[in-house]
Structure 1
Amino acid sequence: MERLDNAPSQPPLKIRVGFDLELRCPRPTPMIVTLGVHASRAGDLLEADPLQVTPAVPLRSYVDSYGNRCHRLVAPAGLLRLQGSGLVADPGWTDPVLPELEQRPVEDLPDDVLLFLLASRFCESDLLTDLAWSRFEGAPSGWGRVQAICDFVHQHVRFDYNRSSPTKSALQTLESREGVCRDFTHLAIALCRCMNIPARYCTGYLSDIAVPPPHTAMDFHAWFEAYLGDGWHVFDPRNNTPRIGRILIARGRDAADVALTTSFGPSVLESFQVWAR
């Protein structure tokens, strides 16, 4: 696919994004909520997407160490509803494909990128090194090697909503050969890190624009970014094809860093709706 930097100008798409979640807590429970459109897309917001909480509780906002917008609150006992909706201007281009990009030697990487070479909670690159080098050492370096990893994960893992769990790791996904987009992404990240390619986890909205039906129920989506050349670039091993309308919410080492809600006590998700249209 050709690079789209010089694509002809066109009116931007307007994508309505949002969510409506309900959680139940048996007692007052502190929470961190990470559900707003990422600050890197703030300039594209035609309508802001403030977090709405029912019943109303005090909110305190902060930006975490990865640059993600977060809110702190204490959920009351009973039902808590979290809602948000925004309108995003999007250029309507597919994810860029840049096969000329090369991998940087570790010694030449920026200091703030090195963190994304290390093993993490869900990406046990230290346990997958032998497999990665035996399979991908012969792949073209740079973009071609990351794409070879995505091809492997896409072909090796079967997508199944019912065959994952909140604690499933990259190694477990490799062994079970099934999972959801989160699992595809963890495995691809771990294999990239084994090959000394920095990779970071992303979560956000992904529309069905230009995707033929039937469409599955909308959900938040996971993909990753690999550091090639002088910057970060999108890869999506679950879909393994460039898509339109990818809107970031949060980035981190793996899913543990970008949980949509983190409860410091028991909570049960009772309903869940997401849209990007």
Structure 2
Amino acid sequence: MRFRVSSQLEYQLEDPATFFFALKCIETNGQHIENESLLIEPEADTDDFTIGVGMNRFTRIRTSGSGPLAIRYQADVETSIQLTDVSSLIAEGPHLLVPDAVPFLFPSRYCQSDRLRQQAVDLFGHLEDPHAIASGISDWVFEHVTYRSGTSNEQSSAVETLEQRQGVCRDFSHLAIGFCRAMNIPARYVTCYSHLLEPPDFHAVFEVFIGGMWYVFDPTRLAPLNGLVRIATGRDAADAAVCTIFGNPVLNNIQVACESLDGEFAPITRDTLHAANQVIALL
């Protein structure tokens, strides 16, 4: 599958500021960037680097004055997925995990799995295998948390989302990740561009590690799972935030788009996977 992704962010600066942007898509075994561009107006002091367990790509921008600042990113990206029958998944405990998956068992800044352990056992302890648990967690979050913009902020955590029962995609994924880790399933946070997401925006989903592969879930059910283009991966939004700012600029405008370049697009959703008894991985 091929997608054209784009994002535009416009700020008003009053004082010097430093931005860490994760707007650029990453390269994986199944995701390849055909071309991309990043424009900054006016020109500013920048440098690019990779960091984190997902080798996320960051652009650091340092501004020294006041006035408007615009950042525009566009890329054509080829993605691949893998569909697997649930019956073929192999359950494995922490004692068999590959080292790369181990960090995603631990509590993190926004996913306090140690504080969610009893609730997780009470809600999902009757489920027998990792896929059933992860699927049950994703469904429970969808059914019991209301999607509502403006009800959370960059400080909101999984515990607060459980208490308040409302939030946005970031909060849905944090809560699901916290529950999964509390049930001894490695889980990680993914930011992405999303085809057919309404309204268009950056999106967050989560992945769980089962039988040597990461499988993706979206507890908001707002976007098809085969229309996701990976930007960054991490333990939670602290590792994979689209933008981290040191300073006090004001965001005046944001535009995000993800367009299919293949013509007809057949969405794969939670319901189509459930009907086929399959799970999906972003390669």
1:60 correspondence with 2:42? no
C-alpha contact 2:216 2:225 (8 A) present in aligned 1 = no
Equivalenced residues, count:
256
SS in 1 for 2:83: coil
C-alpha contact 1:199 1:226 (8 A) present in aligned 2 = yes
TM-score (norm 1): 0.86
How do residues 1-277 of structure 1 correspond to structure 2 at under 5 angstroms? Answer: 12=1, 14-40=2-28, 44-46=32-34, 48-66=35-53, 67-76=55-64, 77-90=66-79, 96=83, 98-100=85-87, 101-208=89-196, 216-239=198-221, 243-277=225-259
SS in 2 for 1:39: coil
CA apart distance, 1:262: 1.2
C-alpha distance in 2 between matches for 1:136 and 1:240: 24
SS in 1 for 2:45: coil
Q: CA 1:18–1:242 in structure 2 vs 1: closer, same or farther (change >3 Å)? A: closer
Uncovered stretches (5+) of structure 1, i.e. residues with no partner: 1-11, 209-214
C-alpha distance in 2 between matches for 1:251 and 1:39: 12
Task: Give 2:263's aligned residue.
Answer: none
Q: CA 1:154–1:96 in structure 2 vs 1: closer, same or farther (change >3 Å)? A: farther
Q: Return 69-78 or 138-147, whichever deviates more.
A: 69-78
C-alpha contact 2:188 2:236 (8 A) present in aligned 1 = yes
The structure carrying a bigger strand percent of its residues is 2
CA apart distance, 1:240: 7.8
CA apart distance, 1:75: 2.3
Q: Which deviations, in whole Å up to 9, do the C-alpha atoms of 1:110-140 show, x marking residues without a partner?
A: 2222111111111111111001011111113
Q: CA 1:197–1:240 in structure 2 vs 1: closer, same or farther (change >3 Å)? A: farther
Opposite residue 16 of structure 1, the aligned amino acid is R
Uncovered stretches (5+) of structure 2, i.e. residues with no partner: 260-283
Opposite residue 261 of structure 1, the aligned amino acid is C
SS in 1 for 2:221: coil
C-alpha distance in 2 between matches for 1:178 and 1:132: 18
Q: CA 1:43–1:191 in structure 2 vs 1: closer, same or farther (change >3 Å)? A: closer
C-alpha contact 1:117 1:196 (8 A) present in aligned 2 = yes
CA apart distance, 1:41: 7.0
Q: Return 185-194 or 164-173, whichever deviates more.
A: 164-173
Q: Which deviations, in whole Å up to 9, do the C-alpha atoms of 1:159-202 show, x marking residues without a partner?
A: 11132222111111111111111111000000000001000100
C-alpha distance in 2 between matches for 1:68 and 1:251: 7
Opposite residue 221 of structure 1, the aligned amino acid is H
C-alpha contact 1:34 1:258 (8 A) present in aligned 2 = yes
Task: Give 1:212's aligned residue.
Answer: none
TM-score (norm 2): 0.85
C-alpha contact 1:102 1:143 (8 A) present in aligned 2 = no
C-alpha distance in 2 between matches for 1:81 and 1:219: 17
Q: Which deviations, in whole Å up to 9, do the C-alpha atoms of 1:41-96 show, x marking residues without a partner?
A: 786333x22321111113211110220011122024222111011122345x6x73
Q: Return 217-226 or 51-60, whichever deviates more.
A: 51-60
Q: Return 197-206 or 237-246, whichever deviates more.
A: 237-246
